């Protein structure tokens, strides 16, 4: 169980997350949906314990995140797949996957592992599960975006936390590969692990997740089982009107020097 109670986050005066309260049950599959800048990444960072809330209280499985002093305990509770994967490009796939064990190992064992990889079989099993068997010795920076995403998933597999967070896991992938990655995430989460992802595809979110939380201007706009979210709710969620980060040009009238798309005659699009 994850519990956020009146959690707010300010970045030097700017309120990125207004006080929100959310409870997520063990094994639930939840998506944070919402426009860019709405606060999805901030919410995931707060739940991952990488960012402390300005006010409010976060608990995972009854443990208050702010009370955790040990990387080992945090790494058993929650693991995050960041949007840019955060792989060390110059290191092998094996080392990047084993980075998922750093919380568990502590400093010296981690250091030794750079020369003599520890628990190699854990990493090779994880690579098999994500469809990258035989890739252990490849340089991570040479992999495609989809392959790097799989390495990041293998890393969280060896970490084996009870909550898996994935920030826009399909943003950099084509639709077919994106769907494969979502299937994989849902499969590795199984029924025991809680999975929380942020993304923009309502169709894919509805196919693979139980619950959609719409986030807008740092607040929860709706929080519903997938099937109960309507297209009107989605239009409101993504509407530029009243959106704090909306580009000014959305409302400003077009000038002759700066014609808007609508001023261009339709014929220009036809060949
Ligand atoms: P999303 O992931 O939904 O695009 P974010 O959580 O990244 O949204 O950002 C929410 C808001 O907080 C945005 O307005 C963003 O500019 C701001 N923000 C995010 N990180 C920082 C930071 N480290 N310092 C200042 N402002 C930030
Ligand atoms: Mg984000």
pLDDT at 120: 87
Does residue 12 have a pLDDT over 60? Answer: yes
Using CA atoms, how far residue 239 sits from 31, 217, 250, in Å, is 19, 11, 11
Instruction: Report the nearest atom of ligand 1 relative to the CA of 42.
Output: 6
Token reading at 67: 């009370």
Per-residue pLDDT reduced to its tens digit, 106-126 = 777 777 787 778 788 999 999
Q: What is the pLDDT of residues 174-215, one digit of tens each?
A: 888 899 999 999 999 999 999 999 999 899 999 999 999 999
Work out which ligand 1 atom sits closest to the CA atom of 11: 25
pLDDT band per the 50, 70, 90 thresholds, residue 85: confident
What's the token pair of residue 65?
A: 């995140």
Is residue 10 within a helix (H) or strand (E), and if so which, with residue range? strand 2-11
Instruction: Please work out whether the CB of residue 193 comes within 6 Å of at least one atom of ligand 1.
Output: no
pLDDT at 148 (0 to 100)? 94
DSSP 8-state symbol, 185: H
Residue 143's pLDDT band (boundaries 50, 70, 90)? very high
Mark out the alpha helices in the chain (DSSP H runs).
40-48, 71-77, 93-98, 102-105, 107-115, 120-129, 145-159, 175-189, 202-208, 231-238
CB of 149 sitting under 6 A from ligand 1: no
Q: Is 194 in the pocket of ligand 1 (CB under 6 A)?
A: no
Instruction: Sketch out the chain's domains with CATH numbers.
Output: 29-51+68-240 (3.40.50.300)
Q: What is the pLDDT of residue 71?
A: 87
Mean pLDDT for 116-138 is 91
Tell me how far apart the alpha carbons of residues 48 and 194 are, in angstroms, rounded to a whole number.
12
Please work out whether the CB of residue 4 comes within 6 Å of at least one atom of ligand 1. Answer: no
- Considering the chain, what percentage of its residues have pLDDT values greater than 70? 90
* Contact in structure between 2 and 60 (CB atoms under 8 Å): yes
Reported pTM: 0.88
48, with CB counted inside 10 A (0-12, 13-18, 19+), is: buried
């Amino acid at each position: 169980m994850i519990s956020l109670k009146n959690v707010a986050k300010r970045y030097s005066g700017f309120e990125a997350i207004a006080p929100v309260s959310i409870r997520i049950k063990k094994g639930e599959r939840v998506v944070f949906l919402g426009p860019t800048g709405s606060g999805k990444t901030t919410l995931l960072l707060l739940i991952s314990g990488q960012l402390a809330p300005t006010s409010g209280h976060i608990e995972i499985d009854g443990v208050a995140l702010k009370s955790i002093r040990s990387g080992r305990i945090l790494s058993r509770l929650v693991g995050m797949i960041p949007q840019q994967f955060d792989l060390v490009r110059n290191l092998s796939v094996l080392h990047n996957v084993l980075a998922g064990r750093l919380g568990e190992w502590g400093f010296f064992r981690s250091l030794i592992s750079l020369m003599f990889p520890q628990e190699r079989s854990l990493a090779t099993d994880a690579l098999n599960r994500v469809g990258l068997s035989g890739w252990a010795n490849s340089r991570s920076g040479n992999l495609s975006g989809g392959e790097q995403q799989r390495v990041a998933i293998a890393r969280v597999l060896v970490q084996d936390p009870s909550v898996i967070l994935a920030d826009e896991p399909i943003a950099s992938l084509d639709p077919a590969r994106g769907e494969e990655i979502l299937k994989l995430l849902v499969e590795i989460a199984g029924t025991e692990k809680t999975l929380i992802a942020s993304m923009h595809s309502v169709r894919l979110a509805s196919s693979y997740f139980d619950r959609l939380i719409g986030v807008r201007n740092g607040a929860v706009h709706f929080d519903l089982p997938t099937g109960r979210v309507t297209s009107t709710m989605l239009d409101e969620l993504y509407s530029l009107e009243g959106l704090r980060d909306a580009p000014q040009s959305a409302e400003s009238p077009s000038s002759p020097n700066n014609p808007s798309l609508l001023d261009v005659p339709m014929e220009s699009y036809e060949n």
